[in-house]
Chains A and B, each alone.
Chain A
């Protein structure tokens, strides 16, 4: 063991240079060529900056709602509910979310509420909702904003992100981008 100690120390030192200094610098260098320069992708609206990949709380009736979050969209403390499918407390919470949704959206049938609108995401920061989750909110927003339902449906279609290369993974809608577009509609 003794004659391995010094080589181990020296080898660790040179590997630290390669893996902890050179490698991150290379990645950092690559990131400088991207749109956000490695600081995350952002959208600027009226001089205000938003992270397009980080979900936000949207619970105002005039906006498309985002999904429930176990951490209230705290982007400095991500996490899910970690509730088991059999957990009674969890099931009661889901039921309560359905009831709340129906109070705010009286024109909607219960069977139209998409499950992503009443369950919390894994990160608590999910920036997306499903297409059906956006559609089910159209009537409420049309009424409050006085916009024709057809225009809102148009907006949803133009904000729907297709599967990767048209083939892989689900369709989804970035709630922040959709709501920014909604604000610009007037």
Chain B
């Protein structure tokens, strides 16, 4: 078999094999059970809590969780604006890069704060090493926040009837120290030995073999890239992101970075099953997500390997596939695969330029973000999927004429209202954003760099990526303007915090309710039938609301090519 295909299958299988034990480990960490790393982290965390004046035994209600979460995020926002707008004169700026303008700093701050990493600057010229290290800090802590929010849901369904859902700071700190940091160190080890730089010396100047002088940007790349993937952040150290040969020097690093970004989203599903002691439920969720994922990924691999029909018509050897925007060491298959993994799990790092993807590959990338619940980002994926579960429970309940119940809790009007608002808000943000940009061509449409249908796709992609907190882009879009910086910045904020607040609120409300023991009349939620219902709900709610927009962009482009 083709070594490119074997490479892709290996990446998926290795992730799955590692995700199951990691899921068990994550469940233990949040349950406070003994784990291997206790001797290192128990004293360290005790010290952290002591210094910070946090009582780790103090349990919180779902509202207190949200207040703690939002307060610390507000603090990071202020700090971040301070760093990004002043970095030109702050230390660690060997390349003499400028500070960011207020609107760019706003966009960068928000986008890293919400675990999105949409970048309207280029890493080589738009930020200092101090800025990069600060963004790296945000990559750690925002992933930790997402996981902490997901654990509130874990907790809510573990206990029979409670208002006490654990301590936000404990979940958050443990996520950073015991999960994100060790995984990042392992990835960093691979990267430094494969040639990713880790230096503070700034640009180098060399003369190449043909005699031209070239400047080479380096930096503390090997520390930045691991957490960018492990935390499903996705922001590149360099402008070219994961396609840059220093961020991703070989197929081995490509496999490592793929597993690194894919593993926690997968492991969190298993962790949920282990944590609430319903493994079958975990496998049902995994099944639905995997079917959805494969339906998007396999066509992309095939389309990218088949290449551009317009180039094939020119009569050259097109056997490598669609190589515009792709790297030879990675190849078309692994690029197509990555383009879907990074969009379903909201990493947004890229190893090929999505703008140059084949039209329907681009559509699948968009759909992955529009659905935003197949695996999903670190923590956030479970939260999004949870909304679809609630909708599916409600619809199934109505179909069979029973009170909708989930895990022994009645789903009532209040929970349904929240779930509907969250489910509809995502398409609302994307479509209204795109419509606004189209309606005001002087500030919106003027940014596109490809003509016709694909130009529309560029704008649609930018807002989809923002609302889904993904961070990849059809990067030809000239998006460093006040209009794009501010409009995407606002959508990023709403697209992050509402999908955290909504599911946490629902979980908190359900947790308070009386527990109804399972009987023969209970709707079983761990069966494949229920899985199918969830899948249909996702298809109807998420996919259909976007179909008209997709028809104007990638689908129209497809028919213009074939």
Contacts and interface: CB of A to CB of B under 8 A. Distances in A.
Interface in B438-486: 449-454, 457, 474-476
Interface stretch (B110-118, B130-138, B423-431): B130-138
Contact of A82 (B79, B217, B475): B475
Contact of A73 (B214, B218, B239, B249): B214
Contacts of B310: 85-86, 91
B561 interface: yes
Interface in A75-101: 75-91, 94-95, 98
A142 to B, nearest CB: 19
B198 A94 contact: no
B3 A169 contact: yes
Interface string A4-45: 111111111111101110011011101100101011110000
Interface stretch (B156-164, B199-207, B407-415, B492-500): B199-207
A57 B208 CA distance: 8
A151 B457 CA distance: 49
A179 interface: yes
Contacts of A14: 47-48, 51-52
B371 interface: no
Interface string B93-134: 000000000000000000000000000001011000000011
Interface in B177-215: 177, 181, 184-185, 188-189, 192-193, 195, 197-199, 201, 203-204, 206-210, 212, 214-215
A38 B245 contact: no
B544 to A, nearest CB: 25
Contacts of A107: none
B538 interface: no
A119 B324 contact: yes
A177 to B, nearest CB: 11
Interface string B312-324: 0011111111111
Contacts of B176: 15, 18-19
Interface string B214-241: 1111101011000000000000001110
A123 interface: yes
Nearest to B326: A122
Nearest to B130: A20
B501 interface: no
Interface string B64-93: 000110111001100100000000000000
Contacts of A171: 3
Given A11-B169, A128-B328, A164-B7, A95 B52 contact: no
Interface in A112-144: 112-116, 118-130, 132
B59 interface: no
A9 B52 CA distance: 8
Contacts of A163: 3, 7, 251
A41 B195 contact: yes
Interface string A50-93: 11111111111001000100000111111111111111111100
Contacts of B216: 40, 51, 54, 75-76
Interface stretch (B352-360, B395-403, B502-510, B528-536): B352-360
Interface residues of A, number: 100
Contacts of B540: none
Nearest to A77: B124
Interface residues of B, number: 119
Given A79-B240, A80-B243, A116 B328 contact: yes
Contacts of A91: 310-311
B209 A56 contact: yes
Contact of B136 (A20, A125, A126, A127): A20
Contacts of B10: 167-168
A24 B454 contact: no
A15 B254 CA distance: 29
Contacts of B238: 78, 123
A78 B244 contact: yes
B541 interface: no
Contact of B451 (A40, A50, A51, A88): A88
A38 B223 contact: no
Interface in B41-70: 44, 47-48, 51-54, 67-68, 70
B31 interface: no
A170 B561 contact: no
Interface in B235-265: 238-240, 243-246, 249-252, 254-255
15 contacts: A4-B72, A11-B54, A12-B75, A19-B176, A27-B222, A36-B197, A50-B209, A77-B217, A78-B124, A78-B238, A86-B560, A87-B451, A115-B316, A123-B238, A169-B7
Interface of B: 3-4, 6-7, 10, 44, 47-48, 51-54, 67-68, 70-72, 75-76, 79, 122, 124-125, 133-134, 136-137, 140-141, 169, 173, 176-177, 181, 184-185, 188-189, 192-193, 195, 197-199, 201, 203-204, 206-210, 212, 214-218, 220, 222-223, 238-240, 243-246, 249-252, 254-255, 307-308, 310-311, 314-331, 334, 350-353, 355-359, 449-454, 457, 474-476, 557, 560-561
